[in-house]
Chains A and B, each alone.
Chain A
Amino acid sequence: MKAVDDITFSLKEGETLGIVGESGCGKTTTCHALFNLLPPGGQLMGGSIHFDGTEITAKSQKEMQKIRGKEMAMILQDPMASLDPLFSIFDQVGEPAYHHRKLRRNSLKTQVEELLGMVRIPSPSIRMKEFPHQMSGGMRQRIVGAMALAGGPKLIVADEPTTNLDVTIQLQYLELLKELQDQTGVALIFVTHNLGIVAKMCNQIAVMYAGKIVEQGTTRDIFNQPQHPYTDALLKSIPVLGNKDPLYVIPGQPPNLAEPPDGCLFHPRCPKADQRCRVEHPPEVVLQNAQSSVCWMTHKEEQHA
C-alpha cells in the first residue's frame, strides 16, 4: 500500500510550509519519513530526502538519532499523550538539551527556564519541577513546544498541534509559534486539515490527497487561483460568516490505498472529471508562478487564462 507516492517539495530557512489534506492522506507519514522514523512495516522506496545538506535516506538509525531532536523536532497532536507522566517538566524539556547539546547542571537549568519563558510559561523555575498531570492542556502543548526548541533545531514539524486544544487557546498557540519562528528563524512545517490555520501561518502550501501532492504553491496563489479541483473543493467547504447557503461537502470517500482507482486518484469525486481522468494519471503541471498542480484540467485553465 502506497502511503506516500512520489512526492516532491522543498523548504527554505525561516519559511513555513503547510501540508493540507484529509485524514489518511499521507501527511503524517510524510513527516515521519523526513525523520526516517517510519512505523514498523513502513519502508521508503526510492527518491531522496535532503536535510540541511545531508541525505537522510543514506543515514543509519544511530546517525539519525544525532539529528533528531537537535536539527529537527516534532510537535504532536495530543499534548497529554506527548508527555511522559512519570518525569518532571524539567526532565523532559531538558532531555534534548542534555543529550544533544551536552548541557549540565546550572547551564541546563538556566536553559530550561529560558525555554519555558519563551513559550510563556509563568514562573518557570517553579513549574519545571512539576509533573504533566498538574498542567492544563494549553500549557502542556506549550511545554511540548519548548521541548522541540530545546535542541536548537533548524526545522520544526507540527502535526496538527492545535486540534486537541480548546478553541479559545488555539489562536494563542499559533501566535506563539509564529513569534518563536521570528525569534529563532526556524523553518516550520505545519500539518493540518484546517485551511484557516494554513492561511494564517504558512507562506507555502502543499495539498495532499491519497498519498500524493496534488497541488503546491504560495499561500496567496493557492487561495486566489486554486488549480486542482480538490483544493477548490476544500476552499469551498470553509464556512463563510453570513452566508446561509448549505455547506459544501465533497461527495464520496477517500480511496482505499490498498486498491487505488485507475487514472487520477481523485476522479471518482471530481466534478470536472472526464474520460481521460478516469484512465490516465495526470502529470504535474508547473505554472509560471511556480505553482504546480497534478490535474488534466490545469492545462485547460491555463489556456483559458
Chain B
Amino acid sequence: MSQISSVKNATVLIFPSIQRIILKSRNLPILPIAIIVAVLFLAIFANLISPHDPERSVKDTETGRPIDNYLPPFWMDGGSIRTPLGTDFHSRDILSRLIHGSRVSLIVGLVGTLAAGLVGTTLGITAGYLGGWWDQIIMRVTDAWLALPSLIFAIFLASVLRPSLWNIVIILALVFWSRYTRQIRAEVLALRERDYVRLAEVTGASRLRVMVKHILPNTLNTVMVLFSLTIGVAIIIEASLSFLGIGVPPPKPAWGLMMADGRGPLIAGKWWISVFPGLCIMLLVLASNLLGDWLRVRLDPQLRNR
C-alpha cells in the first residue's frame, strides 16, 4: 500500500486574537467617561463657569448697550475673545448658552430615561414573574406601545401636554418604558427557573420578596446596559423636540432650540449658532453610546453580538 499522507516535524503556533486581549484587560473607556463627566461638570457649575448670562444680550462694557449680534467665533474676522463662540440674533453669548443648555439635555436625558427605566423594569419584572393574565395584558400593551414611533409619539404627547421641562421628562418616560419591559421580562422568564429563586419560593418567601431580593438585583446588569443605550436616543429626542419648537420653552437655552434658532442664519452663512450645539449633542450621544457598548460587552457576554 502506498503512503497517502505523512506529516514530519510540524508545529502550529496560535496567537491569541486581539479581541481576547482587549476583553481581558480592564480597559476603561476613558474618553466617553471623560466627556460625560465634563458635561456633568458644565451642567452643575454652569452658573459659575459661564462667562455671561445666557438669557440676556451681552453688553458692551463701556457703553452698556448690547454688542453686535451675529458675531462670529473668535478665530474669524470680527470675532472677539469676549464671546469666544460668537453671538446669536439677540446678541447672547453662544458659549454661555451652550453651557447652560447642557442642563436641559442632561436633566431631561437622565431623569427621563431613569423614569422610563423605573416604570419599565417594574412592569417587566412583575409581568415575567407573576405571569398569568397580568403578563398577557402587559405583553400586548408593550408590543403595541413599541409599535409607536418614539419621536412621533413624543410629538403627539407634546401636543396634548403643555410645554415645560418636566412634561418633557414625562413624555420621555412614556415613550421609552416599553423598551425596558420587553427585555427585562424575557430575562425574568429565564431567571425564574434558577435554583436560588426556587429555593426562596420553597422556603416560603413572599412573591414580592422574591422579586425584590432575588430577581431585581440580577436584572440590574441588563437595566444598566439598556439605560446607557437609551440615554443617547432620549437626548436626541429632546433635542428634536426643542428643534421643532415643542420642547423646553424659551428663553431657557436648550441645544436643540439653539439649532433651530440658527437655521435661518445658517443659510446666510452664519453657521456657528447651529453647529456648536449640534456638536455638543453629537459628543454627548457618542459618549453615552460608547459607554453603553463597553458596558454591554463587559456585563453581558450574551448580548455581545447585538
**Is A52 engaged at the interface, CB distance under 8 Å to the other chain?**
yes
- Whether the Cβ atoms of A3 and B7 lie closer than 8 Å is no
Interface residues of B in 1-35 (CB under 8 A from A): 1-17
Docked Cα-Cα span, A289 to B105, in Å, equals: 81
Given the interface contacts A1-B16, A14-B1, A15-B1, does A44 sit within 8 Å of B10 by beta carbon?
A: yes
The one of B4, B7, B13, B17 in contact with A187, judged by C-beta atoms closer than 8 angstroms, is B4
A57 to chain B, nearest CB (A): 8
**Is A155 engaged at the interface, CB distance under 8 Å to the other chain?**
yes
Given the interface contacts A13-B1, A15-B1, does A8 sit within 8 Å of B12 by beta carbon?
A: no
- Whether the Cβ atoms of B6 and A39 lie closer than 8 Å is no
Tell me how many residue pairs across A and B have CB atoms closer than 8 Å: 111
The one of B5, B6, B11, B16 in contact with A44, judged by C-beta atoms closer than 8 angstroms, is B11
B78 to chain A, nearest CB (A): 57
Contacts of B1 in A (CB 8 A): 12-15
The one of B5, B6, B9, B17 in contact with A6, judged by C-beta atoms closer than 8 angstroms, is B9
Contacts of A258 in B (CB 8 A): 16
CB closest chain-B residue, reference A39: B14
The one of A4, A10, A12, A187 in contact with B12, judged by C-beta atoms closer than 8 angstroms, is A4
- Whether the Cβ atoms of B13 and A6 lie closer than 8 Å is no
B273 to chain A, nearest CB (A): 50
Given the interface contacts A3-B14, A29-B14, A40-B17, does A50 sit within 8 Å of B6 by beta carbon?
A: yes
CB closest chain-B residue, reference A29: B12
Contacts of B2 in A (CB 8 A): 12-13
Tally of contact residues, B, Cβ under 8 A: 17
Given the interface contacts A10-B3, A154-B4, does A46 sit within 8 Å of B17 by beta carbon?
A: no
**Is A100 engaged at the interface, CB distance under 8 Å to the other chain?**
no
Contacts of A15 in B (CB 8 A): 1, 4
- Whether the Cβ atoms of A47 and B16 lie closer than 8 Å is no
Contacts of A12 in B (CB 8 A): 1-4
A189 to chain B, nearest CB (A): 8
- Whether the Cβ atoms of A11 and B6 lie closer than 8 Å is yes
CB closest chain-A residue, reference B6: A10
Contacts of A5 in B (CB 8 A): 11
Docked Cα-Cα span, A9 to B9, in Å, equals: 9
A1 to chain B, nearest CB (A): 5
The one of B3, B8, B15 in contact with A41, judged by C-beta atoms closer than 8 angstroms, is B15
Docked Cα-Cα span, A12 to B10, in Å, equals: 18
- Whether the Cβ atoms of A11 and B13 lie closer than 8 Å is no
CB closest chain-B residue, reference A50: B6
Given the interface contacts A12-B1, A29-B12, A33-B12, does A47 sit within 8 Å of B17 by beta carbon?
A: no
Contacts of B12 in A (CB 8 A): 2-4, 26, 29-30, 33, 38, 42-45
- Whether the Cβ atoms of B4 and A7 lie closer than 8 Å is no
Contacts of B8 in A (CB 8 A): 8, 47-50
Contacts of B15 in A (CB 8 A): 1, 41-43
Given the interface contacts A13-B2, A15-B1, does A1 sit within 8 Å of B7 by beta carbon?
A: no
Interface residues of B in 105-161 (CB under 8 A from A): none
Docked Cα-Cα span, A14 to B5, in Å, equals: 11
Given the interface contacts A155-B4, A155-B5, does A47 sit within 8 Å of B14 by beta carbon?
A: no
- Whether the Cβ atoms of A49 and B3 lie closer than 8 Å is no
Docked Cα-Cα span, A11 to B7, in Å, equals: 9
- Whether the Cβ atoms of B14 and A42 lie closer than 8 Å is yes
**Is A233 engaged at the interface, CB distance under 8 Å to the other chain?**
no
* Interface CB pairs A-B, < 8 A, 24: A1-B15, A3-B12, A4-B11, A7-B9, A7-B11, A8-B6, A8-B9, A8-B10, A9-B6, A10-B3, A12-B1, A12-B3, A13-B4, A30-B7, A30-B10, A33-B7, A33-B10, A41-B15, A41-B16, A41-B17, A43-B14, A46-B11, A47-B11, A155-B4
Hey, which bits of chain B sit against chain A, CB under 8 A?
A: 1-17
Hey, which bits of chain A sit against chain B, CB under 8 A?
A: 1-15, 26, 29-30, 33-34, 38-52, 154-155, 187, 258
Known: A29-B12, A30-B7, A47-B9. 5 other contacts (CB 8 A): A6-B10, A10-B5, A41-B14, A45-B12, A48-B8
The 5 closest A-B pairs by CB, nearest first: A10-B6, A47-B10, A47-B9, A4-B12, A41-B15
